Amino acid sequence: MDEILSIKNLTKTFDDFVVLDHINMDVKKGEVVVIVGPSGCGKSTFLRCINAFEKIDDGSVLLSGESINPSKGKQNKTREKVGMVFQSYELFPHKTVLQNMILAPMKVKKVKKKDAEKEALVLLERVGLLSKKDSYPHQLSGGQKQRVAIVRALMMNPEVLLLDEITAALDPEMVREVLDVVINLAKEGRTMVIVTHEMLFAKAVADRMIFIDGGRIVEEGDPVSFFENPQTERLKKFLNSFTY
């Protein structure tokens, strides 16, 4: 398997505070990497660096062998290949579900409207939202919005999909419908980097688990040994905080 994403010595500081401290990580095609860690540990910043939303202070992020450099003004070319779904959905409120999905393919990839719509409808069908194609975001529940956000990102056919705590703002009963979509994507062989607090979901979807604390990768491994046999005290303590 070839590596899609190759991150070397990634370092990011805000003023004097080191958010990410020499992070190394490779992601292979079709791999699902789940990142967990206490809040404020730098997980979200890490995802934002992959998508060129943050200026990297040191190290490199390579996407299919090409460097991501936010200072070069070519970030949009990178972002075409990297999909991102946010905690707060961030659908475009003035556009319908269908319009939300076809906007970027039409404007960025110059796909014909008819073709974009056809693809959008197939995706909506798959996440059970075909009947909502003409609804506006404010008419949808949180879970529905998030499913639309996921398929909107898929419309660009990204090489990597970044999911940033996509269930954190959802009511508990809606978490499942969103995570089911992600699990199906994993089965289809989508490459994903996921930040989440849902440990059971992480266990189910991950090919590899990564624990970040204090801006460093403290522990990583396959999900079974990660959850059942953590090696470091910090990870043990972190995992314990999820059990009562």
Partner 1 sequence: MGFEVLLKGSNMSRLLVGLAVALRISMISVAISIVLGVILGSLMTLKNPVIKVVSKIYLEFIRIMPQMVLLFLVFFGTTKALGINMSADTASIIVFSLWGTAEMSDLVRGALSGIPKIQYESSFSLGMTTAQTYIHVIIPQIIRRMLPLSINLVTRMIKTTSLVMMIGIVEVLKVGQQIIEANRKSSPNAAFGVYATIFILYFLVCWPISILSKYLEKKWES
Residue 96 or 238: the one with the smaller Cβ distance to partner 1 is 96
Cα separation, 181 vs 220, whole angstroms: 25
32: left (phi over 0), alpha (psi -120 to 50) or beta: beta
Which tokens in the block code for residue 198?
Answer: 């849902």
Cα separation, 54 vs 207, whole angstroms: 26
Find out whether 135 and 96 touch, Cβ atoms under 8 Å.
Answer: yes
Residue 101 or 205: the one with the smaller Cβ distance to partner 1 is 101
Considering the rule CB under 8 A, would residue 159 count as an interface residue with partner 1?
no
Considering the rule CB under 8 A, would residue 94 count as an interface residue with partner 1?
yes
Residue 75 or 231: the one with the smaller Cβ distance to partner 1 is 75
Of 67, 108, 222, 237, the one binding partner 1 (CB under 8 A) is 108
Q: Quote the least distance from Cβ 88 to partner 1, whole Å.
A: 6
Q: Quote the least distance from Cβ 105 to partner 1, whole Å.
A: 9
Considering the rule CB under 8 A, would residue 180 count as an interface residue with partner 1?
no
Nearest alpha-carbon partner for 35 in 175, 162, 196, 167: 196
Is the sign of the CA dihedral 72, 76, 78, 82 positive or negative?
positive
Considering the rule CB under 8 A, would residue 90 count as an interface residue with partner 1?
yes
Stretch that binds partner 1, among 37-45, 82-90, 111-119, 166-174 (CB under 8 A): 82-90
Is the sign of the CA dihedral 103, 105, 109, 115 positive or negative?
negative
Considering the rule CB under 8 A, would residue 152 count as an interface residue with partner 1?
yes
Considering the rule CB under 8 A, would residue 76 count as an interface residue with partner 1?
yes
Which tokens in the block code for residue 222?
Answer: 């396959």
Stretch that binds partner 1, among 26-34, 130-138, 207-215, 218-226 (CB under 8 A): 130-138
Cα separation, 154 vs 81, whole angstroms: 10
Residue 108 or 224: the one with the smaller Cβ distance to partner 1 is 108
Site for partner 1 in 187-206 (CB under 8 A): none
Residue 185 or 217: the one with the smaller Cβ distance to partner 1 is 185
Find out whether 204 and 175 touch, Cβ atoms under 8 Å.
Answer: no
Q: How many CA atoms lie within 13 A of 151 on its CB side?
A: 29
Residue 6 or 75: the one with the smaller Cβ distance to partner 1 is 75
Residues that bind partner 1 (CB under 8 A): 51, 53, 75-77, 79-84, 86, 88, 90-94, 103-104, 107-109, 136-138, 152-153, 156
